[in-house]
Structure 1
Amino acid sequence: MYEKVKDLPIEQQIEQFARDLVGIRSVNGTDGEVTLADKLEAILRSFPYFKEHPDQVWTQKLEGDAHGRKNVFALLKSMFENKQTIIYHGHMDTVGIDDFNSIEAHALDPDYLQHYFSEYTKDPDVQKDAASGDWLFGRGMLDMKSGDAVHLGNLLYYAQHREQLKGNLLVMFNPVEENDHQGVMEAVSELIRLRDEKNLHYKLAINGDFVSPLYKGDTQRYIYTGSAGKLLGCFYIRGRETHVGETLSGIDPTLIASKINEALNNNMDGAEQIANEVILPPSCLFQRDKKAFYNVQTAGTTFMYFNYFLYERTPNAVMEQLKHVAADACADLAAFLKQQYSVFSANCGLQGQAPHWDVDVLSYEEFVEELNQKGVPVEKIMDQVIQGNPNEDFRQVSCKVIEALEASAGDKRPKVIVFFAPPYCPHNYLRDNVPEEKRCDQILDEVLRQVQQATGERFAKKRFFPYLADSSYLSMSETSEETAAIVNNFPGWGKTYSVPLDQIRKLAIPVLDMGVYGKKAHTWMERLYKPYSYGVLPKLIRSMTERIFADHPDG
């Protein structure tokens, strides 16, 4: 690959890297992630520096991964004796390509797509962009293979200009970002091993994941000084089945689910309130009753879960909020059914005692505590469920664990059990009370000001990268006491899924997202703006790199 790009200016080198990476279909959960890892390793090994130092490119296979996916690393050592190290990192997987529909066969062909969209009259914005020649199209071009290409371009630049690199540069590419972040989580142990064995001091990690305009006409380039976290807030809802001919005597769990959905889904009342930040509300990602076939019995149980962003809020606060929402939903439903039953009984001339519609609300931790008091072998049952569902989705396994525990206890009372399921992304940001992080933030302000004056670009700095990213696993703001609320309310934690919380706290690497710029990620109109992404951004990242190293010349 080096021979193909060695005589090109860096902007064209980066574009060629991006085109080559986009040309490989690396959809999350497929063997294509392995193919792309092999391609990235081959590109790195083609650089003259790594031909001379082949041991400084290596891979780390993900433990027990059915596809054989792996992390890819490259370490460029400084000419100067220095332990300072900056990490450039990115992910190599993409979402699927089925949204391209009739042109799916061309989803990885930037030139075909540019021509196609230049004649696409149904969207004037994408047509204008395609006709300008300044935009590149294709699945992964924005999210985030161009970001990977920028890292490759800057790595090659420093490999050829090592006198400008006053510290070490570690480049890391990870699979499995688009859903469960397994790649970067397993990379944490490798980063710790490398730090300890080679006496490295990680000063900063720069992610090249994409940024986009936040509103129509927005021309600012956003730099993020941290990562939003995420919890998957889940509700297992047990109602009371009944024949439709006696519907008002039952408790329909789908009605409770609907009320919870209305209270949380896209509702800013459930979001944190932090001024001048991109703060998003919860989003429902799954809602389904557990009926397997048609009959005239109302549903017995419903399962639903929400993407729940974390910025400053603690996990325990999230649990309390979710329980409060569930309790309100159950109380509203009881009042509604009581009113409907009153109308119904008056119409029918019925007398006698009305049914009750009380529903208990409890966390998974509280549910397990009840089971332990009854002598239910919680761990044994959990292990049986996990072993019996080796290929099942993490979230569904969590639900099956609760079903099995409930069945073992003979507990069919109406209730809502609130719990967490994978994935969990810690949140982090540069903190004023941590001197090294505060200094990093100050240097960033200086660099952005200088680049803005030199290029005319308008930058805006935000704390939380809004799209979820692997950067969440390089540092975390939650304390061990705060994460206990997650672990204790997470069916199967440490068995089906876990996050290396203690190791992440030991890493504690300040993180930035300095990403390529474009529009419509995760859609068939995904596209990248070349002048900024391949022209301005690489220099911006190099400026930040050199300023960080210059600020700590002795490591």
Structure 2
Amino acid sequence: MLDCREEVLFFTKQLMNIESIVNTNGEKEIAQVLHSMIASFPYFMEHPEQLLIEPTHDDELERYNVLAFVRGTKNASSKTVILMGHMDTVGIDDFTQLADLACKPDELLEALRNEDLPENVRAHADSDEWLFGRGSLDMKSGLASHLYLLKYYSEHPEELEGNLVFLAECDEEDSSHGILSALKTLQAWKQQHGFEYSAAVNSDFVAPRFEGDENRYIYKGTVGKLLPSFFITGAETHVGSCFEGLDPNLIAAELTRQIDYNPDLCNEALGETTVPPVSLKQTDLKPVYTVQTALSAYVYYNFFIHSWSPKDVLDKLKSQAEIAFNNALALFEERYKKFCQLSGEACREIPWQARVMTYEEMDNLLAAQFGNEYTCHMAGFKEQLLHDQTLDVRMFAARVVEEAWKWMPDKSPAIIVFYSSLYSPRVELPGKNVAEKNLISALDKAVAAIQPNYEKPIVIRNFFPYISDMSFVALSDDESALDSAARNNPSWGTKFFVNYQDVRNINVPVINIGPYGLDAHKKYERAELEYSLEIVPNLTNLVIRGVLSGQ
């Protein structure tokens, strides 16, 4: 085994010391520091053309990726393994009074030891076997593992049969501008240097799946992620005459009750099941206080998939929305009748019926009815909306749907279902071709070789359970699935666009071998040192050698 612990720990702390919160200047700073670190390696002083720092494309922010490669001299081979990982982190507000120490792991540990900590956190803080701080787990220790291997093979190219590409990308925690920009460079290197991309190894964090779970997981492929969104219109009324209208917030509440934590919306594939969807935002769209009920509401949910397509999800959620709408109307009618009994008022017939459509269906209906007048208006509206820097891609999409709704001849209450953010595609690794079979074989052999050196079970599963940039180096979806996601996203082609052909051009089988720890994105984020600094680099190294040798 490689004696790598101290060097990986050194790199990890160097990277952690840079506050590289996503969508801040820290992303630019960490890229520059990482580039300088690699440029100082003797190999890259000799081969500076094999190291790049380059800005992202079509990005409102200035930030950079860092890419480098080493050519092996053991045997001439075009086979190439990509080591990939992200440099950015989430914010540090959760550290509260310790925020100034969030990126200083040694000082943070000393401060934590003086705090009243939960029992398991206290045990880890006192053990000297855990590294605390922002990025310790997600995922600077993983990036440091890759950096160590890049340095090792730059010093020992005679041990490398083929080529090793290192990619440190920005913006993984938000919109994946980093990996989407890097794809073009990877494709250029493929053509320029004759690289045959045989495997990619991501090094994002892994964690227990349940309390008491001692397994350390490696993942083949990754979960897909969608953001299904719902624009809900009601019938506006004065609150003093509340039953004369229909509050869209009531429908939104029923929709969340129907969708949140619903096991019927878990997607099982290859013996593994996604977690159910959960609400990430629920609001009405009233700009200011008035005594009128809201005209519209907006809700969106996180939705993970293993085998369903974006169209499958829309179909399922249309059905769920119809159930929720009918439940809301039934509740409204029940309470209205009870109120009439109490007040002595005569009951009228409820005038509304459940009405649910996708954005694509509404858009097609309006285009057919109003032709160029509608399509030109909406194109201009989107262009004008781009100037509003206060809108993220999700609110941008909501505003587009809201504008399109103004054209609807029938404005009776309705739910419009659409996608309002980036689709991170699912990736499967079933062993359908030679490259996938070689990677699976190399991984199995690596785990078998390393397991005797580590007391906890190392277990291989099929889907990395969190959002990651693995979604953008391989595709398991066909064109119709991707088209469905695009046609039902009002921001597509204006606020954002993904050229999935760039992904297909790389299309490399990908696995995740990452640091192990707890509380990622939380105040007590921490990585277990032995697994993260010793086992992860050695597992990754054996996978590299196995893939490149074909054994």
TM-score tier, shorter chain, comes to over 0.9
Out of 43, 46, 61, the residue aligned to residue 49 of structure 1 is: 43
Out of 75, 84, 87, the residue aligned to residue 69 of structure 2 is: 75
Give the structure 2 partner of residue 394 of structure 1. 393
For the 8 Å contact 1:382–1:492, the answer to whether it is kept is: no
1:496 aligns with 2:498: no
Instruction: Report the alpha carbon displacement of residue 378 of structure 1 after superposing the two structures with TM.
Output: 2.5
Deviations 1:178-209 (A, max 9, x none): 01111101111211111112111001000011
**Superposition pairs of residues 108-187 of structure 1, within 5 angstroms:** 108-187=103-182
1:355 aligns with 2:354: no
Superposition CA RMSD, Å: 1.7
Change (3 A) 1:162 1:449: same
Measured in 2, the distance between the counterparts of 1:388 and 1:369 equals 21
Give the structure 1 partner of residue 416 of structure 2. 417
Q: Which moved more, 1:85-94 or 1:427-436?
A: 427-436
Measured in 2, the distance between the counterparts of 1:352 and 1:83 equals 78
1:267 aligns with 2:255: no
Q: Partner of 1:63: helix, strand, or coil?
A: coil
Letter in 2 for 1:497: F
Give the structure 2 partner of residue 95 of structure 1. 90
Give the structure 1 partner of residue 380 of structure 2. 383
Letter in 2 for 1:99: D
Give the structure 2 partner of residue 4 of structure 1. none
Structure 1 gap ranges (5+)? 1-7
Out of 251, 256, 260, the residue aligned to residue 251 of structure 2 is: 256
For the 8 Å contact 1:241–1:252, the answer to whether it is kept is: yes
Measured in 1, the distance between the counterparts of 2:488 and 2:19 equals 37
Give the structure 2 partner of residue 34 of structure 1. 28
Instruction: Report the alpha carbon displacement of residue 405 of structure 1 after superposing the two structures with TM.
Output: 1.6
Out of 51, 59, 70, the residue aligned to residue 65 of structure 1 is: 59
Deviations 1:380-408 (A, max 9, x none): 42332333333221111111111112224
Q: Partner of 1:132: helix, strand, or coil?
A: coil
Measured in 1, the distance between the counterparts of 2:226 and 2:93 equals 28
**Superposition pairs of residues 305-384 of structure 1, within 5 angstroms:** 305-351=300-346, 353-375=348-370, 376-384=373-381
Change (3 A) 1:49 1:486: same
Measured in 2, the distance between the counterparts of 1:260 and 1:405 equals 22
1:303 aligns with 2:302: no
Give the structure 2 partner of residue 523 of structure 1. 522
Measured in 2, the distance between the counterparts of 1:404 and 1:339 equals 33
Letter in 2 for 1:543: L
Give the structure 2 partner of residue 194 of structure 1. 189
Q: Partner of 2:299: helix, strand, or coil?
A: strand
Instruction: Report the alpha carbon displacement of residue 10 of structure 1 after superposing the two structures with TM.
Output: 2.6
Measured in 1, the distance between the counterparts of 2:266 and 2:402 equals 30
Instruction: Report the alpha carbon displacement of residue 61 of structure 1 after superposing the two structures with TM.
Output: 1.1
Q: Partner of 1:192: helix, strand, or coil?
A: helix
Q: When the two structures are superposed, what TM-score results if normalisation uses the length of structure 1?
A: 0.95
Give the structure 2 partner of residue 207 of structure 1. 202
For the 8 Å contact 1:83–1:200, the answer to whether it is kept is: yes
Q: Which moved more, 1:282-291 or 1:108-117?
A: 108-117
Deviations 1:159-184 (A, max 9, x none): 11212110100000111110111110
Measured in 1, the distance between the counterparts of 2:347 and 2:219 equals 63
Q: When the two structures are superposed, what TM-score results if normalisation uses the length of structure 2?
A: 0.95
Letter in 2 for 1:434: N
Q: Which moved more, 1:269-278 or 1:196-205?
A: 269-278
For the 8 Å contact 1:242–1:297, the answer to whether it is kept is: yes
Q: Partner of 1:108: helix, strand, or coil?
A: coil
Measured in 1, the distance between the counterparts of 2:454 and 2:97 equals 40
Structure 2 gap ranges (5+)? none
Measured in 2, the distance between the counterparts of 1:276 and 1:217 equals 21
1:10 aligns with 2:4: yes
For the 8 Å contact 1:77–1:168, the answer to whether it is kept is: yes
Instruction: Report the alpha carbon displacement of residue 547 of structure 1 after superposing the two structures with TM.
Output: 0.8
For the 8 Å contact 1:289–1:303, the answer to whether it is kept is: yes
1:478 aligns with 2:477: yes
For the 8 Å contact 2:225–2:467, the answer to whether it is kept is: yes
Measured in 1, the distance between the counterparts of 2:353 and 2:246 equals 9
Change (3 A) 1:379 1:164: farther
Structure 1 segments of 4+ aligned residues over 3 angstroms from their partners: 64-67, 119-122, 346-353, 408-411, 454-457
Q: Which moved more, 1:209-218 or 1:68-77?
A: 209-218
For the 8 Å contact 2:266–2:273, the answer to whether it is kept is: no
Give the structure 2 partner of residue 3 of structure 1. none
For the 8 Å contact 1:385–1:404, the answer to whether it is kept is: no
Measured in 2, the distance between the counterparts of 1:208 and 1:42 equals 22
For the 8 Å contact 1:232–1:307, the answer to whether it is kept is: yes
Deviations 1:395-423 (A, max 9, x none): 11111111112224465321100001112
Give the structure 2 partner of residue 5 of structure 1. none
Q: Partner of 2:126: helix, strand, or coil?
A: helix
Deviations 1:54-83 (A, max 9, x none): 010012211243432111100111113211
1:448 aligns with 2:442: no
Letter in 2 for 1:39: V
Instruction: Report the alpha carbon displacement of residue 9 of structure 1 after superposing the two structures with TM.
Output: 5.5
